[in-house]
Structure 1
Amino acid sequence: MPKRILEMTALEVSRLKAEGAYSVGGAVGLHLQVIGGSRVWVYRYVFMRQRRRMGLGSYPTVSLSAAREAARAARALRDSGIDPIKDRQDRREAARLAAAALIRFDDAADAYIREHESTWRNAKHAQQWRNTLSMYAHPKIGSVYVSDIDAQHVLRVISPIWKTKTETASRVRGRIEQILDWATAHGHRTGPNPARWRGQLEYILANPKKLAPVQHLAAVPLADLPTAYATIAAAYGQSSRALRFLILTAARSGEVRGMLWSEVDLEASLWTVPADRMKAKKDHRVPLSRQALALLRSLPREAHVEHVFPSTRKGPLSDMALTTLMRRHKLGAVPHGFRSTFRDWAGEMTHHPRDAVELCLAHTIDTKTEAAYRRGDMLDKRAVIMQEWADYAAGPLPAA
């Protein structure tokens, strides 16, 4: 029998024998509990007037010296007012949560895209995200835990293409930034975002605007607009009609190509574009000029065809239909550029209020304060603007 047991009172020895526990740690409180063929180290202590037993592993997997060291550490916690068992449980839970929070960058990217793609304007946007990340980010940092990603990881992705493919590199950087922000919000990482431009990468990389100045979409010069409109009007086909309507309304290509007859009120001279086809995700009312109304009334209408400018398959025109027409006639611009021509016309040839002009283009008001005080859409003022614009672009028509 161990010497320590001989030094105990008869009552203590009796209790330990009944429990199969033998004291081997002296004042530390370490015991070896023997049950059948198993031998387990146990630290026995009193905390908040309650007797507690803390397992420290089995013998011989845990040696006597290791068990004594563990018991001393547990006793030090108890003496400082911390329950050793509760402390171990807390540390294990923290480790479990930390392990659960680990997620690799490619998994975080997939999760981010799945959560957000339903809010993006078109399916191509999600595919563009996947393609650029697959090409540039995943080979370099795809297997790295987001909690470990730092500025050097980000630079490993974008530095090789920062000067040669600046626009693409900027988009990849922004997408990495958003994914890491998502990871932080979901508890997968902490600390500043190493992909952030302001206050972070702007001090490491050259300014992308200086490397690759913004290229604005090509637009027909203001003075050439009437001639360009006449050229388009002389062309035959649905693309010509749609492009003329686009010019007359200063609308975006997707808004015109997806236009349905149910959106048009010919009597009220009004076209209401639903929110799901608007960039700002808000319904937009477009006052129709006499030229726009005449064009709509001249269109052939087929039963069961909802689109105003249907393709040969009776669906909407393709996104390249209008661009192809402009290229064929060597107009040196793109459909979206007519919105810039409209803005130049309004600024250089009229004195209409800037806000009314911006609303003609369905642009949002610059500040939240302005938006809060301006709840209307200035439809009557915009009707005057759009009629003057149509008169300039297509030539005036006699009043009805």
Structure 2
Amino acid sequence: MRARNKLTMLQIRHLAPGKYNDGGGLWLQIRPDGGGQWFLRVTVHGRRREMGLGGLQDVSLAEAREEADRWRSVVRANKDPIKERARIRRELERDDHTLASITDQAFRARQAELKGDGKAGRWMSPLNMHILPKLGRVPIEMIDQQDIKNSLAPIWHDKVSTARKAMNRLNIVMRYAAAMDLDVDIQVTEKAKALLGTQRHVTRNIPAVHWRDVPAFYASLSEPTVGNLALRLLILTAARTSEIRYCHESEIQDDVWVIPPDRMKAGKEHRIPLPRQALELLEIAQMWRRSGFFFWSRRAVISDAAMSSIMKRRGMEERPHGFRSSFRTWCAEATDTPREVAEIALAHSVGGKVEQAYRRTDYLDQRRDLMQRWADHVTGGE
């Protein structure tokens, strides 16, 4: 029988870089940087296998010997210790009932109904930011209303929308866990709301530049930077920032910008007739185009804050999304545009499901005239 327990802790402290045998297949490899790694060398099914047992800093000599004994017994049972360890880990993961694990499963179950399969991360974002860092490792069956209250209390009155989304999505996760027959309280989020109290925050509309002042602001964006060009196109089209950021050359069909469903908030294709000024702007934006995207910055499309930062630097309270309001108010106050045409120009749903089912038009021709009139107003008739 081969000798075992050859090494001592005193020896280990003074070992030079190299591999050292403790006996019975247990080895210690010392790296040049002074760190070390335990591994077990065994032969199973006629193959030599080397199985890592952890770093010297985390696993003591005694612990390494204990782990080696454990996996030698697996070899004696004619099993591959590496595959057996992987199998055990898979079983543990399958039985992982932490909040983080169940949240991931609940999210994957809902992906098909989320825009873009939820790849943008917006569904998970409130949970990732405010719930999972504090409660992710807690078994979901142990989570109570006090835990949820403590997690959301810091933002309950200050970030009302985010807190509400986090609570609603946590409720979905809890109900998913209940469907798995886990012993969870499906009323726990309602109880947490009772502890947190009524949210005091008053929702404010996003500040918007008055439609009469839009031409002056538009003119101030004369320098052809990628941010200015993107913001100008946003104003001309009354589109959302995300739609502008990911504007791709394949979406431009003659004088119509066709935005696919997976990029729209409502999940439906939206056509925007492009006025002459917008087409000219896209020609200028060619200098920034990369991988087909018009508004590229370094390694990706411009960030979500690229356009709003232009207005922030000027000390403005208004934000890019407010130009949609500017456009809509102009439609109401300066034109005789029918309500449904103006709303569809903003990609809003108009009427109930029955009305939508019977209305098979998106008023493209009427909107082509409307968007050109808006562009003429914005540019001062340039």
Calculate the TM-score normalised by the size of structure 1: 0.62
Letter of the 1:362 partner, please give it.
A
Show the counterpart of 1:346. Answer: 331
Which of the numbers 89, 107, 121 marks the counterpart of 1:113?
A: 107
- Greater radius of gyration (CA): 1
Q: For residue 309 of structure 1, what is the amino acid of its counterpart?
A: F
Matches within 5 A, 1:155-194: 155=149, 157-158=151-152, 162-163=156-157, 166-188=160-182, 193-194=187-188
Partner residue, 2:224: 236
Structure 1 residue 190 displacement after superposition: 7.8
Q: 1:390 aligns with which of 355, 375, 378?
A: 375
Instruction: Find the counterpart in structure 2 of residue 89 from structure 1.
Output: none
Aligned equivalents of 1:168, 1:309: Cα separation in 2:
28
Gaps of 5+ in 2: 1-93
Question: 1:289 maps to what in 2?
Answer: 275
**Matched AA of 2:198:** N
Q: Shift of residue 286 of structure 1?
A: 0.6
Which of 222, 226, 236 is matched with 2:211 structurally? 222
Specify the SS of the correspondent of 2:175: helix
Cα contact 1:262–1:306 (8 A) shared by 2: yes
Cα offset for 1:212? 0.6
Deviations 1:113-144 (A, max 9, x none): 344456225136534422321245448xx334
> Which residues in structure 2 correspond to 1:248-287 (within 5 Å)?
248-266=236-254, 269-287=255-273
> Secondary structure of the residue that 1:359 maps to in structure 2?
helix
Alignment partners' CA distance in 1, 2:212 and 2:291: 37
Q: Distance in 2 between matches of 1:271 and 1:127?
A: 30
* 3-state SS in 2 of match to 1:182: helix
Which whole-Å CA distance do the structure 2 matches of 1:159 and 1:238 have between them? 40
* Secondary structure class of the residue paired with 2:131: helix
TM-score of the aligned structures, taking structure 2 as reference length: 0.64
Structure 1: distance between partners of 2:289 and 2:158: 52
Deviation of 1:201 after TM superposition, in Å, equals 6.8
- In structure 1, the residue matched to 2:15 is none
Contact 2:174 2:184 in 1 (8 A): no
Superposed CA offset, 1:351-384 (max 9, x none): 2122211111112335222221222211112112
Conserved in 2, the CA contact under 8 Å of 1:181 and 1:193?
A: no
Contact 2:131–2:151 (CA under 8 A) maintained in structure 1: no
Question: Which residue in the other structure is 1:306 paired with?
Answer: 292
CA distance in 2: counterparts of 1:261 and 1:144, whole angstroms: 46
Q: Percent identity?
A: 33
| Residues in 1 aligned to 2:147 and 2:285: alpha-carbon distance in whole angstroms | 57
The more displaced of 122-131 and 251-260 is 122-131
CA contact (8 A) 2:288 2:296 kept: no
Give the counterpart letter for 2:163 in structure 1.
A
2:127 alignment partner in structure 1:
129
Deviation, structure 1 residue 231: 0.8
Q: Secondary structure at the match of 1:223?
A: coil
**Number of residue equivalences:** 285
Root-mean-square deviation (Å): 3.2
